[in-house]
Structure 1
Amino acid sequence: MEHELKTLTARLLAQRWLPRSDRLVRRALVDETFRHELDRRLGEVGLRLLDNPYAAHVGLALQAELADPVFGAGREYAASNLGLTRDEIALLVVIWALIVLPKRERQVTRRERVDDGQSDLFGTDKPVAHGDSVSGALTEASLIADFGPRLGGRTKVRNFMLGKLARLGFIERRNGLISEGPLLDVALDYRVLADRIIHGTLGEVLAAAGHPLPETNAFALADVLPDEAGSEDEEP
């Protein structure tokens, strides 16, 4: 176990994220003793494992109480400890809202993209899905046309901001499409952001731009939450 713990810790530090399907990540998710020791070792250096059962990856983050000692309380940190400007953070939140909000609704109700608008009486018996079956893509041209003028200009969004979000692992860009990157769902907390966006000004802005959001927090639709039941990470 010692070698596996060292290996997993080193890989998380070096790669910043790992897929949930990874053998050692799976062990950390289902083996209580292994997870406890991993958390202890990460905690000794001020880190914690980012684990969201609806995300396809896990990652690392600073413990909350160490944010100021590590990054300081200056103006730059107030915007982002990843070096993101306010416009870049705004773009990130817009992309998160357009991809993750409908994705989470599909996951909680056990629907896939091809099932949107349909109901499934036995859907809650399905495991939580990840990947393209539940996570849609955005047309880059449409995103830039709708929000570029609000975020510093279309050229800036296309040539600089989207590239930066891709390098940080939040998004992937292919053939004019923007899809979910490894950190988009695991680094941004749905339970914190969802209601603020759906019932806030941003939700109105997105709807006015032709991007209506789900009407409610996805967890309000479910009687038993998958991350509470733990069904997704049970060993076969």
Structure 2
Amino acid sequence: MTQDNEATHLIAELLARKYLPRTHPRVKQALADAELFQSVEQRLAQVGLRWVDNVYADHVTLTLLSAPATRVLGEGVLNANNNLDLPRDAVSLLVVVWALIVLPKRERQASRVEPDAPQNDMFAGAKPLPSARSVSPVLSYKALLEDYGNQLGKKTRLDANLKLLERHGFILRKQDDILEGPLLDVLLDYDLLAPRILNGALSDVLAREQAQREQAALAAASAQADTPTADIP
């Protein structure tokens, strides 16, 4: 198969499926072959699209180029979300979920620390980047409703907007758990959102939740240390 055909098939599959894992054979080939990747980017640009991925996410996708997006959709803070025509309270929920999942996940990935890794791991920096799936926090639906329900339209609107976010690939649901979806850390601009959130209204909330996680980890470690071991006969 020629390189032009490879580029055509990869783009067609992305358009049909909306996103693909980085482990997909055609995606891996495009990321490893500079000439093929350039061909893909050129073909996408001709129709107003661009390739979107980052090393911290497990999937790749496509979105509109800035100029066509502005012309078609108008100005907006979250262009990816405007593409999907989400209501305002769904946008707010998306930002909250992104902050609670992506920010701690990126911190773990940057420090090369798995969730169950010992805190005194001296060689964490030499390890490969952990996958998003292995280090993404899991949110509790009940905790999300309790902490943010009043601000996000209470249970009825929260449930409806969670379904929207799941349908668009931003989150995954497993009973009471809310997990990172394939597009959460791809379509939202980390460099744009992270400073606004860390220096804005959610900063106190995130700091409090981080302190609670650390306290829970210390309590679990202390409980494990206090547990008597059975004598070996």
Query: Structure 1 residues 114 and 8 mapped into 2: Cα distance closer, same or farther (>3 Å)?
Result: same
Say if 2:149 and 2:158, in contact at 8 Å, map to a contact too.
yes
Which whole-Å CA distance do the structure 1 matches of 2:86 and 2:105 have between them? 25
Q: How does 1:179-194 map to 2 (within 5 A)?
A: 179-194=179-194
Distance 1:37 1:161 in 2: 37
Q: 1:92 — aligned with what? A: 94
**If you compute each CA radius of gyration, which structure gives the higher value, 1 or 2?**
2
Q: Distance in 1 between matches of 2:8 and 2:114?
A: 37
Q: Is the 8 A contact 2:73 2:82 kept in 1?
A: no
Matched-pair identity in %: 47
Letter of the 1:183 partner, please give it. Answer: L
Distance 1:188 1:38 in 2: 22
Distance 1:61 1:175 in 2: 30
Residue 170 of structure 1: how far off its partner (Å)? 0.1
What SS does structure 2 have at the residue aligned with 1:105?
Answer: helix
Give the Å deviation of 1:131. 3.7
CA distance in 2, matches of 1:73, 1:51: 23
Cα distance in structure 1, aligned partners of 2:119 and 2:199: 24
Displacement of 1:206:
4.6
Distance in 1 (alpha carbons) for counterparts of 2:5 and 2:11: 10
Cα shift at 1:100: 0.6
Question: Conserved in 1, the CA contact under 8 Å of 2:50 and 2:63?
Answer: yes
Deviation at 1:72, TM superposition (A): 4.2
What secondary structure sits across from 1:61 in the alignment?
strand
1:5-59 deviations in Å (ceiling 9; x for gaps): 1110101111111000001101111110001100000010010000111000000
Question: What is the rounded CA distance, in whole Å, between the counterparts of 2:54 and 2:204 in structure 1?
Answer: 27
Q: 1:4 deviation in Å?
A: 1.4
TM-score w.r.t. length of structure 1: 0.82
C-alpha distance in structure 1 between counterparts of 2:70 and 2:193, whole Å? 22
- Higher RCO structure, 1 or 2 (CA under 8 Å, sep 6+): 1
Indicate whether 1:165 and 2:165 are aligned.
yes
- Unaligned 5+ runs, structure 1: 214-236
Inter-partner Cα distance in structure 2 for 1:131 and 1:200 = 25
Q: Which amino acid aligns with 1:140?
A: Y
- Judged with a 3 Å threshold, the aligned counterparts in structure 2 of structure 1 residues 73 and 114 are, in CA distance, closer, same or farther, namely closer
How big is the shift at 1:3? 2.1
1:200 is matched with which residue?
200
- State yes or no: 1:67 paired with 2:69: yes
Shift of residue 204 of structure 1? 2.4
Q: Which residue of 2 aligns with 1:152?
A: 153
Structure 1 counterpart of 2:49: 47
TM-score (ref. length: structure 2): 0.83
Q: Deviations over 1:142-196 (max 9, x none)?
A: 10111111111122202x0100000000000012100000100011121221121
Whole-Å separation in 1 of the counterparts to 2:131 and 2:189: 17
Instruction: Compute the displacement of 1:119 (Å).
Output: 3.6
- Residue equivalent to 2:33: 31
Q: Report SS of the residue matched to 1:150.
A: coil
Q: Which letter does structure 2 place at the counterpart of 1:127?
A: P
Name the structure 1 match of 2:10: 8
The match for 2:130 is 129
* Deviation readout 1:94-128 (Å, 9 max, x if unpaired): 1011111110001000001112x714221122111
Check the 8 A contact 2:58/2:133 in 1, yes or no.
Answer: no
* Residues paired across the two proteins, number: 207
User: Does 2:163 align with 1:174?
Assistant: no
One-letter code aligned to 1:188: L
Q: Contact between 1:203 and 1:212, CA under 8 Å: does it hold in 2?
A: no
More off after superposition, 186-195 vs 40-49: 186-195
Deviation at 1:73, TM superposition (A): 5.6
